[in-house]
Every structure is written in structure tokens, then in C-alpha cells.
Structure 1
Amino acid sequence: MRGLLFSFLIFLTFLGTAGSAADPDGVWQTEGYGYLFDVRGQEVAIYETTAISCLPSGLIPGALEHLEGEDAEARFGVTIPGFIEADMEIWPLGKDSRRFHRSDTSTFMTAHKLAALPDACKVNTAATAQDTVAVFHESFKIHYPFFAEGRTGWPAPTVDAIATDQELFDYLTGLMAPLEDAHTALVAPSLDAMYFGAEGAGRSAPEESRKAGFEIVDGSYLRSPLAPYCRGMLGYAELVRGVGYLRVSGFTNFSEANTPDANLAAFERALDDFFDPIHGLAGLVIDLRDNAGGSDALALAMARRLTEQEYIAYSKQAYRGGEGGQAWTDETATWVQASDRESFWGPVVVLTGPNSMSAAETFLMALMDRAPEVTRIGDNTRGAFADMLPRILPNGWLFALPNERYLDSAGKSYDRLGIPPHIRVPVFSEEDLAAGRDSALDAALKVLTSDAR
């Protein structure tokens, strides 16, 4: 009896230990992302840190909810009104470590438990122009991995002449513009002004050329008018019998609610229709030549419909320029897992160009190890893969920058240079527009009809 009682006490002790290990309460510091999550029961506070600052994040947290029977142990909503609305999941990783996952990305941030909230997070940071510029400089120094070779930031700032918010806005955007990085941004509510790097990037097909090019596609190549899906973000038609044409204008805004769950549900219904066997699909052209990206999760949902085998889509690393030691966090793999819904496993051609960016590029990367091989036709993609890391400045302005790199199965990154095509064809060139043809689509049809024969 004493032995049984002793075993029972050990069992109770084990349960207590297991319960405390699964408790996400505490202060969690991320690797490579500059976040502190302070979790206390249902209350969550988020801070953004550099070596010189600790600021309450612009990412607004909701109440924490404990989960049962799921991989994640807890979650809470996070929002930046007008920009982000998602869940932040907390995944177990041992007693003193966790992984934080924002549901509208494929990013898992490793975090370690601190003894207490740092004192710097308990005081207000001054909000002068000098302080704002200093935090901006430091944030790019520790998070931005794509400065020119040998550089880790900009020269020391000289801000004595900045007297107004407009001058501050001009100074900060003047630093970002030469980067020509589509994933940089600045939002200044006090000026009602915004800057987005995607709008100023030099390597882009002109909008009027893209518009004219798609008019040629619609009028000369499709057997029927393009059928719109997902609020017009997708369009589907046949090129020739058995060869489908799917134009994807982005991986976002697929539903009226425009939430991750609603967008995914609408997308899955559209994909069910596209890949219904009734269409007799023997080949597929996916056109990403005017796709500014969106959600990696939606891009992966589409990749899942194009394979019958599981494989690694890509691996991700975050830059840790200010943390010492290795420059990048450990690789985290993202997988393509075959869907149990209607799918297509036959030959696929993807049309690409400099206006294929962000989630369009991660989708393309997720197809690199697909079998049979996907043929890429067109020009290099933009080379802007990483999620935009949202940051806040002492004066309340928001900005964003990329802090990650995506790697293929060979460990190669295509950031800045873009993913090259197998068959290089100019995107909506002046010669093609004048001749009323689409050379990329002609090449795609040649590939697919040759495969069919």
C-alpha cells in the first residue's frame, strides 16, 4: 500500500511539473525578430527591442486563449488596423522555450524565457526626431540583411536640420528609397502619409504594358472570357482544349472579410472548381506576371493542390545582426503536404516577371521540388521574399522591413536577384504588344502541347 501511495504521489508530482512546463506565462524574447512577449494569464503585452530601445509594439494583442487537443498550446489575436489581422499561436518547445507563429505567415519565431521584463521596457522612450532616427537606424542595422557587401547600416545620422514631421518623413524615406526593396514601408499618421518600397522599385514592367498585355491574352488566347473568382483576384479560362489558364493577381483579399480563415475558405472553394475532373485538365498555365504577393499560407494552399507527395517548400532564417555569434537563426523548414481535395498533378508552366513578388515568389519556390518539374517562363521575379517585419518608432510612426531569407533545398537564396526562368522571354515587350502577341504564353503552349503529344 505504501508503494502504491508513493507511486501515486510521484504521478501527481509529474502532472504538476508537466502543467507548469506547458504554461506560457512569462517574458519571452525572440531570436532575430526583436520581439518581447509578456504573457500573464489572459493578458499579453508585446514590445519591440533594440540595443537602445524597448517600445510597446504597434502589433496590438488580444486576450490569450488556451487550446486543448491542438499542436499550439495557446493563441491570441494580433492587429495593426488596416494592415494586419491574424492570430499569434504559441507552440511548446520545452520548459524555457517557445515558438510564436503568426497565422498569416509561415514564420515560427523561437523565443526563450527571461527572468523578468527588462527595465528599459518599463520607462517611456523620448520621441524627439533624434530619438526616432536613432531607433530607425538601429532597427535596420540589426534586422536588415540586404545592405551592400561590407555594410551593416547607414552612416551615423545627422538630424540637426530636421524641424518638422515632413522633414523627418523625407529623411527616412530618403534612406529607404535607394534600397529599392519592395518590403520596406513607412506610415506616418501625423502626416496622413505612407511610403511603400514596392511602388518605387525600378525593376518593374510598366503598368500600361501589363494592362495592354493582358488585353491581348484575353482577346486572342482564351477560348472564353476569363471567369472571375475570389473577388476578381483569380481568373480562369481554357487556352486550348485540356490546357487551363489561371491568372493569380495576388494571394490576399479573397473574401469580403479579408481574414485568414475567410480567405482560405474562399480560395479552397475556387481551387475545387479549377481542378474538378470534369474539366479534363491535361496541362496548366499559372500567370503570376502581375502578382504583388500576400499570404504565404494561401500560396502554400495552392502548392498543396499541385502535388501528390510531401516535400520541403523552402527553409527560412532570420537575420540577427545585433545579437552576436552567427549571423542567421537556425533554418526552419516549411513543407508542402498533399491535399485530400481536388488536385492537379500534371504538367504546369508558371509565367513570371519583375512584378511577381513576395508570396508569388514563395509560391514559385514551393514548386521547385515538385514532380513533375514545373517550367518557369518569362523574366526573373522581384526578389522580395521575406515577410514584412512591422516596427514602431518612438513618435508613434510605423515602418516595416524584411529580416529573413528563404532557401531552396540546395541552400540557395534568391533574395534581391529573384528566381530566374527556365525559358527567358521579355514580359510584355513593346515588340509583342505591337504585334498583338504574348511570347511567354506562346512558349508555354509549346511546352504543354509537346508534353501532351
Structure 2
Amino acid sequence: MAAVLATSVVAATAVPASASGAGSSTDHRLDGVWRTDGYSSVLRITGGTFELYDTTAISCIRDTTDDGDGSVSTFTPGADPNHALWHIDANVNARKLIRLPSLPPACTTPTPATPIETFDVFWRTFAENYPFFAQRGIDWNQVYATYRPQVTASTTNAQLRDIFAAMITPLHDAHVGLVADGTPVFSPKPGTQVPDGDLDARALALVQHADLSTATSALQTWCQGRVAFTTLPGGVGYLRVSDFTGFTSDDTSAANAAAFSAALDAVFTPDRTAGPNRLHGLVLDLRINGGGDDPLGLMLASRLTGHTFFAYAKQTRDDPTDPDRFTVPQPFLVHPSTTPHYTGPLSILAGGSTFSAGEAATQALLNRSPRPALVGDNTQGVFSDILDRQLPNGWMFGLPDEEYLTLSGRTYDIAGIPPDVKVPTFTPEQFADGTDPAFQVALQSLGRR
């Protein structure tokens, strides 16, 4: 999912303004200082601008990591002057805001950028926000006991980076990362093929060779190559989505949504969704998908149903001392698009290189009727929006703090969404011999839906 920090404001009057420039909105009802329910953040809103602070029990740091990233925030007054909602256009949920009388004193004094203070803020941010220590078998207090004595006032940046890497690598969480002096630290599940441009190109070449040789139309692409569609014999469509971001050169949520909507218009035409030439089956390929913006996943789901159904609910850890306490879950539904949409049999291809928003889109479709056949491997098992943070020394890092719930209240975090039919996908052997057995199973599954 996209980074969760925003830098533009849409006030109650729906007038946008830059977070770093003078605001054009004249609605000042939301002016003041607010804390979030969950997310460990404090905001100071002044007219059409706001400042964001990352907080822990020992620190408050002005966060500049996403200044100018092009995302847009909407602040809506609540039922009384002391409550409001904050929505970021790259996310599906709204964050509850509670008014504070003033900026906390810690936010007015810079946190020392020493190795010791930087370590303490790093460790405590995870301690207060990360929900999955128990599930991943990590004793975070023991991590502190092991690594804190290694940090002194003379610890170099390279040494501190190595210490942080040793702390977070055992989590094997693809939504945990650190950028230290330009060097990234990132550790997904062992054996993961990380979705990147090279893997995407190799996978597409394999699909074209093994699966699309009998296609009845040319493979069309949109969204800078991240969306592709063709038709196969028997009136079957093949739709490939390799990201839910990066659809435009601007790469803003609004621009990407417009581009994706136009692509889906071109795919789901009236002729393909109704009448004698309509599609009789659809294979949705999300096997190489690095994630992005969840609203785009819900947009896709809306083109694949004629009925409203439950997608998922989101909750956020909101107690710094108790990892089992969360905000009240916010439910999200898939509503049929008012534009032409496909309602027939659906197979979804997914696997370990299906990350984040790709997984959320898969989860959003599980309650569709007729239910899709899920073919491939377990997905990566990372759903939360990334809570971006800045350290006193200027380094950036991120971690998850949310859960995506099913109707019964379970999550697919860590284990990932399991397939109905397990078939290894994009293995070295398959790349070598030019075969794609999961695709053939997906085609066969359409006849059983």
C-alpha cells in the first residue's frame, strides 16, 4: 500500500491547499492541534496547511518524509468541535482525530540526533505500533536487551544501520523497511521473489509464450504497462495487473485512479459484459503485484460484480503498551460500478509475489458471487498501509500497524491468503522450460464456477 503520510489539505470546504504553502481555504473550524486514534501522530492544522509529528512516549519529531509527495488529505469536522476525521486519498479508511489543547511540549524541542536517542526512538516506535511480534515469534524486549548495550555515543552511522538491520531482519516482514544514508534494509519472507521490473518482464514473457499463443486478440496494455488484457478462445478474458500504483508519470493517487478507470473502461466494454459476445470467463493475474493504493483494488472489484458485498474491515493498533488492542474496525464494501461490469466466472492467480494492495484486492473479491477460484501459492501476507516514520538523525523507516479483517474477524497477515488450488508459480524450472501450469488450472477452474 502507498505511504500513509499526506502533504495537501482539503478542508471542510473542499478547497485544496499545499501543506507547505499558504492555504486558500477560509474554513478555520479545524485549526488547532490534533492527535490520531492509532498511528501515533499529532497534527497541527492552520487554515489550509498542516504539520505532521511522529510521536512515541519519549519523542515527538516533525515528519518531513512525504512533503511534496502529491497525496491529498481531506479533514472533516466530527460530531463536536473536539473530533474530526482525516482521510488520505491513497487509503480506503479515515483516521479519527481528537483535539488537543496545544502542541505537546516534546514537539517543540528537537529530539537529540545522537545514536542512543535514535536507537531508542526506533525501538520504541515498533514497541508501540507493531501488531505482529507474537505471531512472528519475536520478543521485542529481548531485542532491546540484546542490541541497546551495543549503542554508545560514538557508534557510527554504519554500525547503527547494521544494528537496526539485525533487529528487523528476523521479522521477515515486507512492510518493514529502513533507509539509512541512502542504503535500504528490507527483508520479506525467505524465498520471496520480490516483484520488480525484471521479474515482471520475465513473467510476462513466460505468460505470452506459454499461455497466450492462441489469444484471439492482441495483448493491449495501459497504465505504463502495468495493466494488460487479451482474449482467449471460448470467450475467456485474461487481465493482468502488476501494480496498483505507478500508472502515470505523475504517480499521484488521483492521476493513477483516472488512468486505471480509463483502462478498465477499455477492458470491460458493453460488448464484453453483455450480449452474445460477452466474456464467458475471466482470469485475473495478480501473481506479480507489488501493491500500491487500496482504492484501486476496490475499483477493480467494482467492475467484477453486479451485487454489493463485504470486502474487508480495517483496524489499527491503538495502545502503545498492548499489541492486542485496536481501533473499532471500519468495514468496506464492494459496490457494483455504474459503468459496464463483468459478472461471470472468475479465476484469480496469486502467489508469494502478490504483495500488499495486490493481496487486499484479492481479499476484497473472496465474497464475490460467484466466488472466484484462487489458484497459485499463498500471497505474501502483508496488508497494512505502511506507517512511515522519520528518526532524529533524518533516516526514514516504515512498519505496519493495521489489520485487514475478514467477515469472521480473522486476518491473512503473515500466512497470506491460501489458494483453493495450490500450484507453484514462476519457479526457476518453469522459467527454464517455458511452462505455466497455474494458468492452465485457472482456465479449467472457470468451468467449475
TM-score grouping bracket, smaller chain normalisation: 0.7 to 0.9
Say which SS state the counterpart of residue 264 (structure 1) adopts: helix
- 1:254-313 Cα shifts (integer Å, max 9, x gaps): 112111111111111110111113242111101111111111111111111111222221
CA shift, 1:30, in A, is 0.8
- 1:91-121 Cα shifts (integer Å, max 9, x gaps): 2322111121111111321121112211111
1:133 aligns with 2:119: yes
Structure showing greater relative contact order (alpha-carbon pairs closer than 8 Å, 6 or more residues apart): 2
**Correspondence for 1:165 among 157, 160, 183:** 157
Would the aligned equivalents of 2:317 and 2:323 in 1 still touch at CA under 8 Å? no
Q: Which sits farther off after the overlay, 202-211 or 102-111?
A: 202-211
Q: TM-score, normalised by structure 1?
A: 0.84
- 2:76 maps to a residue whose letter is W
2:53 maps to 47
1:202 aligns with 2:194: no
1:275 maps to 268
1:263 aligns with 2:264: no
Q: TM-score, normalised by structure 2?
A: 0.85
CA distance in 2, matches of 1:129, 1:251: 37
Would the aligned equivalents of 1:312 and 1:336 in 2 still touch at CA under 8 Å? yes
CA shift, 1:196, in A, is 3.2
- Distance change (3 Å), C-alpha of 1:438 and 1:43: closer
1:239 aligns with 2:225: no
CA distance in 2, matches of 1:234, 1:353: 18
- 1:134-157 Cα shifts (integer Å, max 9, x gaps): 000000000111113573553231
CA distance in 1, matches of 2:359, 2:262: 23
- Distance change (3 Å), C-alpha of 1:241 and 1:161: farther
Say which SS state the counterpart of residue 417 (structure 1) adopts: coil
- 2:43 maps to a residue whose letter is F
CA distance in 2, matches of 1:333, 1:245: 30
CA distance in 1, matches of 2:174, 2:292: 12
- Distance change (3 Å), C-alpha of 1:302 and 1:173: same
1:249 aligns with 2:242: yes
- 1:158-201 Cα shifts (integer Å, max 9, x gaps): 2128622111212112211111111112123xx33222345xx3
2:16 maps to none
Give me the CA root mean square deviation. 2.4
CA shift, 1:58, in A, is 2.4
CA distance in 2, matches of 1:313, 1:345: 16
CA distance in 2, matches of 1:423, 1:401: 31
1:346 aligns with 2:344: yes
2:363 maps to 365
Would the aligned equivalents of 1:129 and 1:168 in 2 still touch at CA under 8 Å? yes
CA distance in 2, matches of 1:123, 1:184: 28
1:67 maps to none
- Distance change (3 Å), C-alpha of 1:325 and 1:271: closer
- 1:307-326 Cα shifts (integer Å, max 9, x gaps): 12222211111113415696
**What percent of counterpart residues are identical?**
37
Would the aligned equivalents of 1:213 and 1:438 in 2 still touch at CA under 8 Å? no
- 1:172 maps to a residue whose letter is F
**Correspondence for 2:290 among 289, 292, 311:** 292
**Correspondence for 1:155 among 133, 144, 159:** 144
1:319 maps to 317
**Correspondence for 2:106 among 120, 130, 145:** 120
CA distance in 2, matches of 1:338, 1:269: 17
- 1:176-227 Cα shifts (integer Å, max 9, x gaps): 1111111112123xx33222345xx314248888765543320232115422
CA distance in 2, matches of 1:127, 1:254: 38
Would the aligned equivalents of 1:184 and 1:197 in 2 still touch at CA under 8 Å? yes
CA shift, 1:420, in A, is 0.3
Where does 1:15-34 land on structure 2 (aligned, <5 Å)? 23-34=29-40
2:205 maps to 215
Q: Which sits farther off after the overlay, 390-399 or 270-279?
A: 270-279
2:43 maps to 37
Say which SS state the counterpart of residue 85 (structure 1) adopts: coil
2:436 maps to 438
- Distance change (3 Å), C-alpha of 1:347 and 1:137: same
CA shift, 1:414, in A, is 0.6
- 1:40 maps to a residue whose letter is T
1:87 maps to 72
CA distance in 1, matches of 2:105, 2:59: 11
Stretches of structure 1 that go unaligned for 5 or more consecutive residues are 1-20, 60-78
1:179 maps to 171
- 1:63-102 Cα shifts (integer Å, max 9, x gaps): xxxxxxxxxxxxxxxx345xx4311111232211112111
CA distance in 2, matches of 1:294, 1:324: 29
- 1:447 maps to a residue whose letter is S
Would the aligned equivalents of 1:351 and 1:377 in 2 still touch at CA under 8 Å? yes
Stretches of structure 2 that go unaligned for 5 or more consecutive residues are 1-26, 273-277
Would the aligned equivalents of 2:194 and 2:353 in 1 still touch at CA under 8 Å? no
- 1:400 maps to a residue whose letter is G
Would the aligned equivalents of 2:268 and 2:340 in 1 still touch at CA under 8 Å? yes
- Point out the structure with max Rg over C-alpha: 1
- 1:420 maps to a residue whose letter is P
State the aligned residue count: 407
CA distance in 1, matches of 2:116, 2:194: 38
CA distance in 1, matches of 2:446, 2:324: 45
